[in-house]
Amino acid sequence: MTQTSIVSLRGANIYQGKSLILSDVNFHVNKAEFVYMIGKTGSGKSSLLKTLYGALYLKEGEGEVAGFDLKQLTWKTIPHLRRNLGIVYQDFRLLSDRNVHDNLEFVLKATGWTDKALMKEKIEHVLSKVGLRSKGYKMPHEMSGGEQQRVDIARALLNNPKLIIADEPTGNLDPDTRDEIMNLLFNICRDYHTAFIMATHDYSIIQNNPARVVRIEHGSVKEISPAGV
């Protein structure tokens, strides 16, 4: 794994239980690189992403993410890996009984933060980055889908991740909001030098925001150009 690599899989076989989902995966993502991952439902995208953040163990082949050897992960080291990652979900997954500030504070406490002043400063910073500086008091149900997705992105930024995994982050958004979120993601990639892996079914996003593309199909991972989408 080079100094600029955030993700490196070499000859990796990805399993879901005892079922081989993807074979001989060779996949690399560098620092500050934006990569789209496309493929039909059931093709193995989610299994690959879960392997990268330690929800599925890598049984065969070699793999490192953010400096962690995926084959050496244990229940004790997985939390340390995940502190170097951010995950953005399609369905937001915000805690409905807490306001935005408390949603973010919950994550900071869960990942080891204790200083109240530093937590407040960090929350204000990430909310400002996603355009929600004045919305910390709002409850999730009081916000639009686009605003909730911005909170989800702010949450992913809290621990200065080396890699953000975005699983269909625009799937529930209208076209205008989708475009705003994509601009935000690319700005974060540039400003924070954070690598992104974004799974999507929406090929128009790739055409409007070109970047490297990998396709998951027939049990393998293939590099393609945006024009080949």
At CA 160, angle to CA 120 and CA 49, rounded to 5? Answer: 125
pLDDT the model gives residue 3: 59
Is residue 34 scored above 90 in pLDDT?
Answer: yes
Residue in this structure with the two tokens 């686009």, named with its chain if needed: 146
Is residue 1 scored above 60 in pLDDT?
Answer: no
Is residue 193 scored above 80 in pLDDT?
Answer: yes
Question: 198 in helix, strand or coil?
Answer: strand
Map out the domains of the chain as residue ranges: 88-156
Q: What pairing do the DSSP bridges indicate for beta strands 34-38 and 60-65?
A: unpaired
**Among the listed ranges 7-16, 29-38, 44-53, 217-226, which one has the minimum average pLDDT value?**
217-226
- Give Cα 17 distance to the centre of its chain: 23
Residues 1-12: what's their mean pLDDT? 85
pLDDT the model gives residue 227: 57
Residues 99-121: what's their mean pLDDT? 93
Is residue 134 scored above 60 in pLDDT?
Answer: yes
In angstroms, the CA 16 to CA 148 distance is: 31
Residue 138 burial class via C-beta count within 10 angstroms: exposed 0-12, middle 13-18, buried 19 and up: middle
pLDDT the model gives residue 4: 84
- The sign of the dihedral angle between the CA atoms of 166, 180, 124, 30 is positive
pLDDT the model gives residue 174: 84
Instruction: Give residue-wise pLDDT tens across range 79-88.
Output: 889 889 998 8
Assign 11 a pLDDT band (cuts: 50, 70, 90).
very high
Where do runs of H (alpha helix) occur along 63-144? Answer: 78-82, 100-110, 116-129
In angstroms, the CA 13 to CA 63 distance is: 10
- The sign of the dihedral angle between the CA atoms of 9, 161, 152, 205 is negative
pLDDT the model gives residue 228: 61
Residue 88 burial class via C-beta count within 10 angstroms: exposed 0-12, middle 13-18, buried 19 and up: buried
pLDDT the model gives residue 199: 92
Assign 60 a pLDDT band (cuts: 50, 70, 90).
very high
In angstroms, the CA 37 to CA 176 distance is: 22
**Among the listed ranges 16-20, 31-35, 225-229, which one has the minimum average pLDDT value?**
225-229
Assign 137 a pLDDT band (cuts: 50, 70, 90).
very high
